[in-house]
Amino acid sequence: MKEFIRNNAVFIGLSLMLIAALGLALLWMPKGELHLLLCDRHTPARDIFYRYYTQVAEWFPYVVCVALLLFSRIGDGIFATSALILSALTTQLFKHLINAPRPLTWFGVNMPDVQLPLVDGVRMNYWFSFPSGHTTSFFALFFVLCIIVTNYLASNNAGDLTAKRSNSVSGLLQALLFMLATLGAYSRIYLSQHFAADVFAGVVVGVGITICCHVLFCRFEDRKWYNYRLFKKK
């Protein structure tokens, strides 16, 4: 576990900072005011970007899982698929148990004079707000990729110079993957599909379930079946 934390320290550290920042913001500001503060930064370019980028969570995880199952170690593919499916199921369970109103519904009841800045072409949802499923998928997906890449870099360096270079590359990649996950999470607030609390919970679920799945599967990394590849290099 220590090696896992050390190898993924950048992604884990940034995720904890994001969770802490959102937690403090939720404690400090009322729900409606915080949402308006975070979503009121609209421009035509941002509208287009977030409208399409948020859809990455709806199809890209499946592409990654299939690619890993076919072209990487079969164990990595199973780990990725398990993390994404279990995190999605956990989110859906809470969504249907809580059935919280989405921003459009909540503002219509509690702050009817407020006009949310909506984006043309985005189909708005009204219920099942907590947690954010897209945020869960974004963080589970990019954390899975982070773990697989850092494992590969850690196992393929030799010598102090190579190790230092590998650590620098790993840190930059982790920061990039975290940024991509965070942009996806923020897209849900920007589009007024979710509140900050929904995103907060989505990050916790996505990161937490991925860690649990890694703890479960990492013990099998030395097994023959885990390292089996459907398409082997010639």
User: Tens-of-pLDDT digits for all 234 residues of the chain?
Assistant: 788 888 899 999 999 999 999 999 999 999 999 999 999 889 999 999 999 999 999 999 999 999 999 999 999 999 999 999 999 999 999 999 999 999 999 999 999 999 999 999 999 999 999 999 999 999 999 999 999 999 888 877 645 546 666 778 888 999 999 999 999 999 999 999 999 999 999 999 999 999 999 999 999 999 999 999 988 655
DSSP the chain: -HHHHHHTHHHHHHHHHHHHHHHHHHHHS-HHHHHHHHH----HHHHHHHHHHTTHHHHHHHHHHHHHHHHS-HHHHHHHHHHHHHHHHHHHHHHHHH-PPPHHHHHHHH-TT------TTPPP--S--SS-HHHHHHHHHHHHHHHHHHHHHHHS--SHHHHHHHHHHHHHHHHHHHHHHHHHHHHHHHTTSS-HHHHHHHHHHHHHHHHHHHHHHGGGTTSTTTT--SS---
State the residue for tokens 């010598």. Answer: 159
Supply the pLDDT for residue 162. 61
Integer Cα distance of 202 and 140 in angstroms: 9
Polymer length in residues for the chain: 234
User: What class does CATH assign to 2-220?
Assistant: mainly alpha
pTM reported for the whole predicted model:
0.94
Supply the pLDDT for residue 233. 59
